[in-house]
Structure 1
Amino acid sequence: MSKFNMKNTSRRSFLAGSAAMIAAPAIAQSTSTVNSQATTENERDLSEVVRRNISSFRTLDWRPYFDSTRNGAILVDIDSRAVHYWSEDQSIYKLYPSSVPLTQELTRRGRTQVVRKVEGPSWRPTPSMLKRNPEWPPYIGPGPDNPLGTHALYLSWTYYRIHGTHDTRKIGRRSSNGCIGLYNEHIAELFAQAKVGTQVLLI
């Protein structure tokens, strides 16, 4: 076989394999209504590469938002779908893409704080979630089907959390019932840095 044909064959195999990998999560997750595509804003075909406005996903200074970084500070920018973190001594700054609430009615803004940290969280839908989605299970334990991913930071507002997600399609989209979602590797990193008492501002 010529080098040209080998390259074409390899490229076709790679593209076919990639298409299968993209399709597989959607098929697997259709069995769980909680993690289904219906709970995610469908801006366009989920297999399409989304080009976002990079200027909206930018580094920020903490000073316009907090009086100090005592206990650390987390800023959730719902409009740009980003989470910012500053350590108490300001030596650490992190910027993460996030998922945000599906609608303005589900969105809450203002000041709160981390009141609890849970690795391997379990999940129970709120009464309002069950009213909107009566087919949802009343409880999901830790694991790959859990909507809270691998780690969760519980906020002082009832039912509100910053947490991970196993469904990576949700990141960068309006896809939650009020919480803020991060990739599992990002929430694990933030979980290690943040502590109970870390101040949180959602804007």
Structure 2
Amino acid sequence: MLTRRHFIASAAATACAAPALATPTVVRLPYKFVPQDVAVNPDLPAGQIHVIKEQFFLYWTLGNGRARRYGIALGEQGRNYTGVLTIRRKAEWPSWTPTQNMVRLEPEIYGPYRNGLPGGHPQNPMGARALYLYDGNVDTYYRIHGTMQPWTIGQSFSSGCVRLINDHVEELYSQVPIGTQVYIF
């Protein structure tokens, strides 16, 4: 059960996901990572997102002790954000440009993409939708987004962002308004 003890504030920011060298493939998710409504702490209000990193789950709270749970992929150890953020922007088929820090740290991976990729490009790691996470009015460059690599769900496999299968992020995107609080622990 998701409880408030998972939500102890601290901060560490990083950037987004690694470029997706996408190959069309059929992926069979373990049942626990298939979107489903689950019981959570009844004190949690509706309309929040809670990311529990150690379990690879994102919860969209529905109220009355219920939430919609999604399986996620996360950044590798040390590349994840911890804390409370706010969704300030949303985009369908977003473009992507690696941060300067990503290019500096891993030029062999990110250098070829330094000028960015358009939305929908098979190597664009943002997938079908993106929810842009801000600390106050400052863009953290941390996102909740789709992935062109669905086989990574349930793993630490990127430069940081929270990633869902494209169909799942499309479902979440349609429900989540700008201004939604996101708790990442």
State the match for 2:99 in structure 1: 126
- Which residue number corresponds to residue 79 of structure 2? 106
Aligned to 2:129: 151
The runs of at least 4 consecutive aligned structure 1 residues that moved more than 6 Å come to 49-54
Secondary structure at the aligned position of 1:117 is classed as strand
What TM-score results when the alignment is normalised by the length of structure 2? Answer: 0.72
State the partner residue of 2:118. Answer: 141
Corresponding residue of 1:73: 48
Query: Aligned in 2, Cα 1:119/1:200: closer, same or farther, shift over 3 Å?
Result: same
Hey, what's the Cα distance between the residues in 1 that align with 2:104 and 2:37? 38
Question: 1:61 & 1:185 partners in 2: Cα distance?
Answer: 23
**Is 1:95 aligned to residue 104 of structure 2?**
no
2:66 & 2:37 partners in 1: Cα distance?
A: 16
Q: Is the 8 A contact 1:81 1:100 kept in 2?
A: yes
The structure in which a higher percent of residues are strand is 2
Q: Matched residues in 2 for 1:35 and 1:188: separation?
A: 18
Distance 1:184 1:52, change over 3 A: closer
Higher-helix-fraction structure? 1
- Residue by residue over 1:32-77, the C-alpha shift from the partner in whole angstroms, topping out at 9 and shown as x without a partner, is x82259xxxxxxxxxxx997999xx99452456x5x33xx100001
- Normalised TM-score (structure 1): 0.66
The residue number in structure 2 matching 1:198 is: 180
The corresponding residue for 1:34 is: 19
Number of residues paired by the alignment? 154
- Contact 2:130/2:145 (8 A) holds in 1: yes
- What secondary structure sits across from 1:96 in the alignment? strand
1:114, distance to aligned residue in structure 2 (A):
0.8
How much is the aligned-residue C-alpha RMSD, in angstroms? 3.0
Q: Which runs of 5 or more structure 1 residues have no equivalent in the other structure?
A: 1-32, 38-48
Instruction: State the alpha-carbon separation in 1 of the partners of residues 142 and 70 from structure 2.
Output: 18
Q: Match of 2:58, as an amino acid? A: V
* Structure 2 unaligned spans of 5+: 1-17, 23-27
| Structure with bigger gyration radius | 1
Identity %: 32
Amino acid corresponding to residue 178 of structure 1 in structure 2: G
- 1:86 and 2:41 are equivalent in the alignment: no
Change (3 A) 1:200 1:63: farther
Q: 1:91 to 1:186 in 2, by over 3 A?
A: farther
